[in-house]
Amino acid sequence: MLLGALAFLVGGAADGTATGDRPLLRPAHDVDVTYALDAGNGAVLHERLRWRAATQTLRVDPPTEGLYVIIDFVARRMSTVRTAERTVIDMAAPDNVTGVPDSAAGASVRQGTDTVAGLLCNDWDMTDAAGEAARVCLTDDGVMLRARAGARTLLNAETVSATPVDPAAFRIPPEYTHRSVVAPTRSRP
């Protein structure tokens, strides 16, 4: 899973709108997007992301049946839910969970406009967390519609709905068994 496939990035302008020289990297409103993901060798997978602006939470429904991930950006927590096993793995959200560092907005360069899934977006060249160049097409209100690395389109929005997202989609059934995972600490040289 590409965990959000670079979508719904953290950071960006704080006022809820993009500026001419800096993109908004977080949706300013609720949004529900289904993406086509390039899985390589001509295979295409589909991933659904739902963003709830009021709580700054993201639900990722990856191509894997019976699995979803909820990321709370305020609490910096991530829960992986397996419906068949009725289990939840809770952990701290990894730094740069979306694959793009928080500083990407400030270092991005606008490259023009395009239309994806019927919506106008601005292409921005930026660098991902691995230091690789990426071109991301974002709406002025922070919704990612496409991400490219080199000549490869990693993700492309197929459907976009800006209607309010049901808060129930972010609730984990209380009867599910929770297990906490602590990320290993890195030793310093």
In a domain, 27, yes or no: no
In a domain, 93, yes or no: yes
Residue 57: what pLDDT? Answer: 94
Give the model confidence (pLDDT) of 69-107 as tens digits. Answer: 999 988 999 999 999 999 999 999 876 665 555 555 557
Give the model confidence (pLDDT) of 124-168 as tens digits. Answer: 998 766 778 889 999 999 999 999 988 899 999 999 999 999 999
Residue range(s) defining the domain that contains residue 46: 35-180
Give the model confidence (pLDDT) of 39-53 as tens digits. Answer: 888 899 999 999 999
In a domain, 18, yes or no: no
Q: Is pLDDT at 19 greater than 70 in this prediction?
A: no
In a domain, 172, yes or no: yes
Residue 188: what pLDDT? Answer: 47
In a domain, 26, yes or no: no
CATH number at residue 90: 2.50.20.10
Residue 185: what pLDDT? Answer: 53
In a domain, 100, yes or no: yes
Give the model confidence (pLDDT) of 176-188 as tens digits. Answer: 999 998 865 544 4
Total domain count, the chain: 1
What radius of gyration, in Å, describes the C-alpha atoms of the chain? Answer: 16
Residue 95, helix vs strand vs coil: coil
In a domain, 156, yes or no: yes
Share of the chain above pLDDT 70, in %: 78
Residue 132: what pLDDT? Answer: 80
Q: Is pLDDT at 1 greater than 50 in this prediction?
A: no
Give the model confidence (pLDDT) of 52-63 as tens digits. Answer: 999 999 999 999
Q: Across the chain, where does the E strand assignment appear?
A: 31-40, 43-52, 57-61, 67-72, 77-82, 87-92, 109-116, 119-127, 133-138, 144-149, 152-161, 177-180
Q: Is pLDDT at 27 greater than 60 in this prediction?
A: yes
**Do residues 125 and 111 make contact, with C-beta atoms less than 8 angstroms apart?**
yes
In a domain, 3, yes or no: no
Residue 187: what pLDDT? Answer: 47
